[in-house]
Amino acid sequence: MEKDLVEYIAKTLVDDPSEVLVNQIEGEKSTILELRVAPEDLGKVIGKHGRIAKAIRTVLSASSTKTGKRVVLEILD
């Protein structure tokens, strides 16, 4: 569910939605979501001083309270 959420948010922010890729890596106590976007869209996903990235992480942490697993978002360049 978190993967779909990150993918949806990222696709609405970027100019090239076809380049948005989210890879999910499951661990015992945590889930890692790797977000990859086109190089020219990287700034749109991170935002000024990382504000947008922080907001996405906040939404993820709120949505992951149901499962009890920690969700980590990594934005890859």
User: What is the per-residue pLDDT across 4-60, written as a single tens digit (0 to 9) for each?
Assistant: 999 999 999 999 999 999 999 998 889 999 999 999 999 999 999 999 999 999 999
The pairs formed by 40-45 with CB atoms below 8 angstroms and a separation of 24 or more are: 40/15, 40/16, 41/13, 41/14, 41/15, 41/16, 42/75, 42/77, 44/13, 44/14, 44/15, 45/10, 45/13, 45/14, 45/75
Taking residues 63-74, report their average pLDDT: 88
* Collapsed DSSP state (helix, strand, coil) of residue 3: helix
Per-residue confidence band for 65, with pLDDT thresholds at 50, 70 and 90:
confident
| Distance separating alpha carbons of residues 37 and 20, to the nearest angstrom | 5
The pLDDT value recorded for residue 26 is 92
Full set of structural domains in the chain with CATH: 2-76 (3.30.300.20)
pTM of this prediction? 0.90
The pLDDT value recorded for residue 53 is 96
